[in-house]
């Protein structure tokens, strides 16, 4: 693996931190299962599998391709993108709050992605809005100002947010 270095500055020292590039894989499996295909009337249902062994049913969104050609119960790529952004933000938020000495009891986010035409006239997820509701231990919780700062830090660190062109907004803090 290719190693990269970054300089970390703290109040007391400057040091070099090595890190490896990360590689992520997903296997997407689809079969025609006898459908004519050229008439565009085939199932968009497919399966996502990941290195840990989990398999997730996937499909196009029924908003894009009507049922029965989409599988309404499956996860569509647009939902997965929204969930990835929300999950990444939450994981960074939990990490940062733990390092600050706060105890998070629960975290719920009802994230919403908006698909519309972007500035190039292409359909895209142009905005993802996170609505995190965080419950802290009764012993100690951050002020409203610090809670906003924690979410801002989580957003800045989130790999998914850093990878997307879409606007990602955190509301309701």
Please report, for the domain that includes residue 157, its CATH number. 3.30.300.20
pLDDT band with cut points at 50, 70 and 90 for residue 128: very high
Q: Given 7, 41, 75, which residue is the final one in a domain?
A: 75
**Shared-domain flag, residues 64 and 90:** no
* Ramachandran class of 31: left when φ > 0, alpha when ψ lies in -120 to 50, beta otherwise: beta
Length of the chain measured in residues: 173
Alpha helices by DSSP H, listed for 20-100, are 77-99
Residue 62: inside a domain: yes
**Shared-domain flag, residues 136 and 101:** yes
**Shared-domain flag, residues 49 and 117:** no
Tally of domains in the chain:
2
On average, the pLDDT of the chain sits at: 90
**Shared-domain flag, residues 136 and 68:** no
Residues forming a β-bridge with 8: 15
pLDDT at 172: 81
- pLDDT(110) > 80: yes
**Shared-domain flag, residues 45 and 90:** no
**Shared-domain flag, residues 64 and 92:** no
**Shared-domain flag, residues 49 and 129:** no
Residue 15: inside a domain: no
- Span 85-95, average pLDDT: 98
Task: Give this prediction's pTM.
Answer: 0.84
pLDDT at 168: 83
Q: Which of 24-38, 70-84, 158-172 has the lowest mean pLDDT?
A: 158-172
**Shared-domain flag, residues 69 and 119:** no
- pLDDT(1) > 50: no
Nearest residue to 32 via CA among 22, 44, 20, 21: 44
- pLDDT(3) > 50: no
Nearest residue to 48 via CA among 40, 59, 37: 59
What is the spatial distance between Cα 55 and Cα 164, in angstroms, rounded to a whole number? Answer: 25
Q: What is the rounded radius of gyration, in angstroms, for the C-alpha atoms of the chain?
A: 20
Residue 14: inside a domain: no
- Span 103-115, average pLDDT: 98
**Shared-domain flag, residues 91 and 133:** yes
What is the span of the domain harbouring residue 119?
78-170
């Amino acid at each position: 693996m290719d190693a990269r270095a970054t300089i970390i500055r703290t109040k007391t020292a400057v040091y070099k931190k090595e890190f490896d590039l990360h590689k992520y894989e997903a296997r997407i499996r689809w079969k025609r299962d006898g459908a004519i295909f050229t008439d565009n009337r085939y199932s968009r249902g497919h399966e996502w599998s990941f290195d840990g062994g989990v398999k997730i049913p996937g499909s196009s969104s029924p908003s894009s391709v009507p049922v029965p050609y989409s599988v309404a119960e499956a996860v569509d790529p647009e939902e997965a993108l929204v969930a990835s952004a929300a999950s990444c933000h939450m994981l960074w938020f939990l990490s940062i709050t733990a390092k600050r000495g706060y105890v998070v009891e629960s975290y719920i986010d009802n994230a919403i992605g908006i698909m519309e035409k972007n500035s190039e006239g292409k359909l895209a997820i142009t905005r993802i809005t996170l609505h995190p509701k965080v419950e802290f231990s009764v012993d100690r919780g951050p002020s409203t100002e610090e809670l906003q700062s924690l979410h801002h830090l989580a957003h800045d660190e989130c790999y998914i947010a850093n990878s997307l062109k879409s606007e990602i907004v955190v509301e309701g803090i």
